[in-house]
Amino acid sequence: MNENLIKKLQRVELIANYSKVRRMLNNPLKYIKAIFHKEYIYPKTKMEKVVETYLFFGKKMKVALPASTDIYLTGGKSHSSEIRLALFLIKNLMMNDKFLDIGAHYGYFTLLASEIVGENGQVISFEPTSKSFQLLKLNTEPAKILNVFKRQFQIRRQHCLFMSFPICILNIILQILPSLKGIMV
């Protein structure tokens, strides 16, 4: 099974590395819908659009555009670090293992881990933001996935800095992050 998942993940990486034209030709309607929302609707309204897509390993997932445009178009997270993480999980998680997904967002790695560890394994997901947590709950409904336990972080009696940013400035944050040495998140 894991070799099959690796081959399917390689397809995600292939699509992620396509040119814009080739990505559009791969699935024209999805591409136009996603990019139109990302470039025209979201900048004006700041409203995300929840859509459903299939992941490379066959599970359905609800995601919000534009934040998860990559998942919507490729069936997986497309940044090289996320592809490497998915490959690491595929190679190292085993049936019946336990997995913690801290900062689970909409549940991409939660769903992947659940697929790998099977019904007798266990996946526990934590997500602090309410909007993301709502999609995480939808994506891991008990009727669909029995081995996932999800929790929303709740901060009490302690001061804590939690920063949540709109998707439009995520790339800027990633560029300045190395200069923020010594800051604990």
| Residue 108 belongs to a domain | yes
Ramachandran region of residue 116, left (φ > 0), alpha (ψ -120 to 50) or beta? Answer: alpha
| Residue 157 belongs to a domain | no
| Residue 56 belongs to a domain | yes
Q: Provide the domain limits for residue 72.
A: 2-152
| Residue 181 belongs to a domain | no
Q: What is the CATH number of the domain that holds 144?
A: 3.40.50
* Cα 31–chain centre separation: 18
| Residue 178 belongs to a domain | no
Q: Compute the residue count for the chain.
A: 185
| Residue 144 belongs to a domain | yes
| Residue 29 belongs to a domain | yes
SS percent in the chain: helix, strand, coil, step 5: 50, 15, 35
Mean pLDDT of 83-107: 95
The 10s digit of each residue's pLDDT in 80-91 is 999 999 999 999
pLDDT, the chain, mean: 86
Q: Is the peptide bond before 66 cis (omega within 30 degrees of 0)?
A: yes
Q: Which residues contact 72 (CB under 8 A, 6 or more apart)?
A: 30, 34, 51, 53, 63, 65
The 10s digit of each residue's pLDDT in 48-63 is 999 999 999 999 999 9
Q: Which residues contact 119 (CB under 8 A, 6 or more apart)?
A: 146, 147
Provide the percentage of residues in the chain whose pLDDT is more than 90.
Answer: 68
| Residue 170 belongs to a domain | no
Provide the percentage of residues in the chain whose pLDDT is more than 70.
Answer: 76
Q: Per-residue confidence at 185, pLDDT binned at 50, 70, 90?
A: very low
What are the strands, taking DSSP E only, across the chain?
49-54, 60-65, 98-102, 122-127, 148-152
Q: Which residues contact 149 (CB under 8 A, 6 or more apart)?
A: 122, 123, 124, 125
Mean pLDDT of 129-143: 86
Q: Identify the weakest region by mean pLDDT among 14-28, 53-67, 101-115, 119-133.
A: 119-133
Number of folded domains that form the chain: 1
Q: Per-residue confidence at 37, pLDDT binned at 50, 70, 90?
A: very high
Mean pLDDT of 26-35: 97
Higher pLDDT, 166 or 18: 18
Which DSSP symbol is given to 58?
S
